[in-house]
Amino acid sequence: MKKPDYSEETRLYREGFRAICGIDEVGRGPLAGPVTAAAVILNPNHIPEGLNDSKRLTEKQRERLYSLIVESSLVSIIHVSVEDIDRLNILQASLLAMRRAAEGLATLPDYALIDGNKLPQGLPCAASALVKGDSKSVSIAAASVVAKISRDRLMTSLGRENPGYGWEKNAGYPTKEHLLALLDLGVTPHHRRSFKPVHNILYPGS
């Protein structure tokens, strides 16, 4: 399986761009918790070894890479709340998270490589969308690792405050344990009311 590399970034450097960030988001599918986006500008002289799509890495590998990325790169992490997800819909909330992540970098990027097939509106720079970008660009792969670790840590913390749903293991995704807990324990303020399994519990028969 081909690993992501720095070829997209190199091409953009040749075109005159200097602050090139990768952006990725995580958390579209869960029933609980925010959607999280990260933007990363890698230092081309200190690209961590082993970067890959976060889904292809073990938790231990992700944790190691997260530390290396944060130490050597410019990083911005944004969580968009359950309230905003319910108000906007999950796609628009994800795009908002990605735009805010780009805006939150200490050095504003002059180009963004974004995972997926849609570009957020109002980005502070030029951008292109790369389908399966986290397996093509190391900048996007780095953003996928940072977003995944950041959201998992937040959901572990929320899981301690709201025991029984298994968020420290399922990160809010609709596992069997989580769905049974929803029926047993009810809906928390951290659940997405616009998502069908939660909506159906709150408004049966609607």
DSSP string, 78-128: EEE-HHHHHHH-HHHHHHHHHHHHHHTSSS--SEEEEESS-PPTT-SSEEE
- Mean of pLDDT values over 172-184: 97
Rounded to two decimals, the pTM is 0.96
pLDDT at 205: 76
If pLDDT is split at 50, 70 and 90, which confidence band does 1 have?
low
Q: What are the pLDDT digits (tens) for 53-79? A: 899 999 999 999 999 999 999 999 999
pLDDT(134) > 90: yes
pLDDT of residue 2: 78
Decide: 110 and 126 in contact? Cβ < 8 Å: yes
**Interacting residues of 200 by C-beta distance below 8 A, sequence separation 6+:** 206
Average pLDDT for residues 139-161, to the nearest whole number?
98
pLDDT in tens, 78-102: 999 999 999 999 999 999 999 999 9
122: left (phi over 0), alpha (psi -120 to 50) or beta: left
The average confidence (pLDDT) of the chain is: 96
**pLDDT for the residue 206:** 67
What percent of the chain shows pLDDT beyond 90?
96
Which segment of 1-5, 22-26, 46-50, 136-140 scores lowest on mean pLDDT? 1-5
Nearest to 171 by CA among 14, 70, 59, 68: 59
Q: Determine how β-strand 74-80 pairs with β-strand 35-41.
A: antiparallel
Domains of the chain: residue spans and CATH: 7-152 (3.30.420.10)
Other residues' Cβ atoms within 10 Å of the Cβ of residue 61: 15
